Amino acid sequence: MPFAGSAVSCPPCPAHNAAVTADQRIAGATQGTKWENRLFLVGGAVRDPLFGLPSPPDVDIVLEGDALELARFLREANVSAIEPVTYPRFGTALVMVEGSNVELATARSESYDPESRKPEVRSATLKQDALRRDFTINTPMRNLHTGELVDLLGTGLDDLRKRVLRTPLDPAATFSDDPLRTLRAVRFKNRFDLTPAPGLWEAIRGERERLNIISKERIRDELSKMLLHRSAADSLRDLMDLGLLPLFAPELEEGIGVEQGSFHSKDVWEHTLDVVEIAAALEYPDDETRLRVVLGALLHDVAKPRTRSVEESGRVRFFEHERRGGEMTRRILKRLRFPGAVVDDVGALVANHMRLGSAVPFTPAAARRLVRDLEGLTEPLITLCEADAQAIGRTGDTGVDFADVREKVRRAGEVKERSKLESPLTGQDIMDLLGVPEGPEVGRWKTRLTEAVLEGEIQAGDKEAAASLLREEAKKQAHH
């Protein structure tokens, strides 16, 4: 890896990935123009390969010149697949090349109003642009045309090699100017296994209250990026230790020191971190599922501190913590501006995370109820419950056969339509069959038929069997 010097020639290689193809396309289009040798890759496209990681799909390019003019040129040359999305105030423009989002930025310096994170922007040199960046690991640049790796500050490559997290300027000023960088510091530290430079963590603690000026949407995005990585538990521990997590999710701090009785060896917060660690280490079909499960792991016991009680025998109980936890989860995620679908799904996971443990052995009827109530969320729920059980199982037997649960849920899930796990007869069918008027009695009969389907007394969707059961039980009731 080219860590030895501050300027290393390493031409782009077309075999890397689609992002490099975008780089090459832009390099080719600008060769022989006024932009040749004036365009530099910066950020993840430089940093990640130096850490031995794949290049990110999106690309950042900085230049001493007008980025908006370059964006228009790339569109006119049919290099960009879209009209540029421009941000004149910041001197940036977004284009799309070979399927990759490419942000073009005029080299700039910034100054901040203490009451806002929106900077006053001025054109600047590449070195001044490097100085205004968040961390030194993001300051090395690569010449788009020659492949030369340039470290204008003289510290970026060394910090990359030593895996040190450092700010280019005074850390207190860096975090005060843009408080979101406090969250980015935690994410980078754990994602790349970095050691904070002396004074960095102290500066975050000193400036942490400034995070309150950041929009909840931007906080949500940073938190989500942390939770999507295997180091999620380490990031959450740092967020709590630095006093950042209580600023936007104070409910989680309530779990510190809340003992759970003999079945748990750890307090609510430490147990939560264990469950997150297990959940974050698993494989998922997509990031949407991963985010829902890890959020569920983070919030599954959020209501325990508020529901804790101790019986005369000394047994610790948390009555209805799952139901109240589901309600609290929805409030927390709404506060952080998560999409409605995420709020609903994670709220449902938290509200139902005790179902498997309270149904031992797990019956086919319980599986049918689970499929009916949590259509599309059964596997995420089982995954969450399994992570919870494994965390507890470090000190005791969990008692749940998750392979058996998955098999029974799979069989129940073969009934494709959720409606078939309900009463095969409509209210009108029941009124016609029994000759009863519309009212509560019809609802009671419909509930009875739904229970019959779930308990396996009659097959899903079998109207004839439902009508037969209805006549028989109605006859018995009339006789008694």
pLDDT in tens, 224-261: 999 999 999 999 999 999 999 999 999 999 999 999 88
Query: Which residue is it, tokens 């001044």?
Result: 128
The contacts found for 316-324 with CB under 8 angstroms, 24 or more apart, are 316/259, 316/260, 316/261, 318/260, 322/350, 322/351, 322/352, 322/353, 322/354, 323/351
Beta strands 195-196 and 59-63 are: unpaired
Q: Tell me phi and psi for residue 195, to 5 degrees.
A: -105, 125
Q: What are the backbone angles phi and psi of residue 242, rounded to the nearest 5°?
A: -85, -5
Could you report the per-residue pLDDT of 65-75, keeping only the tens digit for each? 999 999 999 99
pLDDT computed for residue 264 by the predictor: 79
Predicted pLDDT at 120: 57
- Which structure tokens are listed for 411? 């069989």
CB 94 within 8 A of CB 84: yes
Dist. CA 20–CA 54, nearest whole Å: 11
In the predicted structure, residue 426 carries a pLDDT above the cut 90: no
Q: How many Å apart are CA 133 and CA 177, to the nearest integer? A: 11
Q: Please compute Rg for the chain using Cα positions.
A: 29
102: part of which helix (H) or strand (E)? strand 100-106
Query: Given this model, what pLDDT does residue 425 score?
Result: 77
Indicate the pairing of strand 148-150 with strand 7-9: antiparallel
Which residue type is seen at 65?
G
Tokens of 191: 């994602």
Q: How does pLDDT run across 292-320, given as a tens digit for each residue? A: 999 999 999 999 999 999 998 889 899 99
Question: What is the pLDDT at residue 8?
Answer: 36
pLDDT digits (tens, 9 = 90+) for 95-141: 999 999 999 999 987 655 566 556 555 678 999 999 999 999 999 99
Q: Between these two residues, 453 and 35, which has the higher pLDDT value?
A: 35
What's the pLDDT score for residue 415? Answer: 63
Phi, psi of 137 (to 5 degrees): -65, -15
Quote the tokens at residue 251: 């409910």
Distance of alpha carbon 169 from alpha carbon 110, whole angstroms: 13
Closest to 303 measured CA to CA, from 272, 342, 265: 272
With a pLDDT cut of 70, the percent of the chain lying above it is 89
- Integer Cα distance of 172 and 165 in angstroms: 14
Of the candidates 311, 296, 215, the one whose C-alpha atom is nearest the C-alpha of residue 261 is 311
CA triplet 208, 294, 330: central angle to 5 degrees?
A: 75
Alpha-carbon distance 74 to 59, whole Å? 15
Residue 462: predicted pLDDT? 79
Tallying the residues shown for the chain, one arrives at 480
Given strand 39-42, what is the order of strands in its sheet? 7-9, 148-150, 141-143, 39-42, 59-63, 100-106, 92-97, 85-87
Contact 297, 279 (CB under 8 A): yes
Q: How many CA atoms lie within 13 A of 435 on its CB side?
A: 3
Provide the pLDDT for residue 476.
76
In 3-state terms, what secondary structure has residue 186?
A: helix
Beta carbons within 10 angstroms of residue 316's beta carbon: 16
Cα–Cα distance for residue pair 39/62, rounded to 1 Å: 6
Give the span between the Cα atoms of 157 and 138, in whole angstroms.
9
Tokens read off for 169: 């300027």
Q: Which of 9-23, 172-186, 287-301 has the lowest mean pLDDT?
A: 9-23
Distance of alpha carbon 308 from alpha carbon 426, whole angstroms: 43
Residues 6+ positions from 220 with CB-CB distance below 8 Å: 336, 337, 338
Question: pLDDT tens digits for 262-292?
Answer: 777 899 999 999 999 999 999 999 999 999 9
